[in-house]
Amino acid sequence: MKSRDTLIRLRRFQADEKRRKVAQIEAMIADFARMAADLDREIGQEEQRAGISDPAHFAYPTYARAAAQRRDKLRRSAEDLDVQLAAAKAALAEAFEELKKVEILDDRERSGERAAENARDQASMDAIGLGRARA
């Protein structure tokens, strides 16, 4: 009984850890997207200030060029995180499956134990009833 409860707690802990990892990766992706959008806005402002929007132009603002490189790196990192997110979600689904299997097994065993206990109680009541009927 205790080992079964321990196993259930372990599976719940593992599922919670995987859920936290998924949430953490999703938060990182959202942060990267927000930072990339901020950089897009800053690049636009810098291009407007300089009056040059062609990155190939010799007088293109250095800050805008650096910000564009940073933005592109953030987007690549977010794409890499998308792959990690898919793997983390698959691991989470697997952890939930394992947890459900253990919980279902526990429910079946407990219902079997309850049925056996109910049968014993019924047998005791039948014996008491038969004892009174004879008296």
CATH of domain 1-104: 1.10.287.1490
User: Whole-prediction pTM value?
Assistant: 0.74
| C-alpha to C-alpha distance for 106 and 90, rounded to whole angstroms | 24
pLDDT value, residue 61? 93
Q: Is 91:22 a contact under the CB 8 Å cutoff?
A: no
- Kindly report, residue by residue over 21-66, the tens digit of the pLDDT: 999 999 999 999 999 999 999 999 999 999 999 999 899 999 999 9
Assess whether pLDDT exceeds 80 at residue 115: no
The beta strands (E) that lie in the chain are given as none
Q: What's the chain's average pLDDT?
A: 90
Percentage, residues of the chain above pLDDT 90: 64
Residue 1: pLDDT over 60:
no
* For the chain, domain boundaries: 1-104
